[in-house]
Amino acid sequence: MTLERLKGEIIASARAKAKQILDQARKEAKAIIAKTEQDFVPAREKIEAETKAMRDAVIAREKSKANLEAKKLAFEEKKRLIDEVFDAAEKQLVSAPADKRQALIAKYLEKAKKEIDIARVFVNKNDLRLVKGLETFEAAIKGGLVAENADGTHRVDYSIETLLSEFREKELQKVVKMLTR
């Protein structure tokens, strides 16, 4: 055997062995990649599911906060409108002409007479001259009257402030419904 031939056989054998080793390495690499992908898919799906759940929770929380804020703003606007309505009613009653104020005072005196024996009447400064035949005093009220019995143990309050406050408490739900139609 010649040296050249021996050299060729050694190279051929080495190439065959290298090819065999490379083929085996490629086969093992494919198996490792396949196993990694197989292991990665469930992990990726789990991460995606957790991410979606977190995103959905954040969206739900933000929607809830937005709805709450919208309700708060709507409530504040309704309250502002209700306050406006009652302020306008009070202004209208306070600035009514003397004949209308006198009619209201007469009406409230009649109601008060059914509840107590009136000895004194308290009215605002502008309405002092509108009450006749009873002891009348100035009071810090915007309109209407407060009637009192002789010994001062019983009072009936028909002042505009009290009447509007009572009306507001009693009729607030109806007013809210009217404003929100």
Whole-Å CA distances, 120 to 91, 98, 107, 116, 148: 26, 21, 16, 11, 5
Q: How is the chain split into domains, by residue range?
A: 1-95, 97-179
Assess whether pLDDT exceeds 70 at residue 181.
no
pLDDT over 70, % of the chain = 97
Is residue 179 pLDDT above 70, yes or no? no
Q: What is the pLDDT of residue 124?
A: 93
- Give the predicted TM-score (pTM) of the model: 0.58
Please report, as a single letter, which amino acid is at residue 32. Answer: I
DSSP element (H, E) containing 13? helix 3-94
List of residues 6+ apart from 107 with CB closer than 8 A:
none
Q: What is the pLDDT of residues 139-160, one digit of tens each?
A: 999 999 999 999 989 999 999 9
Bridge partner list, 147? 121, 156
Average pLDDT over the chain reads: 87
Share of the chain above pLDDT 90, in %: 39
Considering only CA atoms, which of 94, 90, 100, 163 is closest in space to residue 130? 100
Question: Which fold, 97-179?
Answer: hypothetical protein PF0899 fold (3.30.2320)
pLDDT at 161: 92
Strand 144-148 relative to strand 120-123: parallel, antiparallel, unpaired? Answer: antiparallel
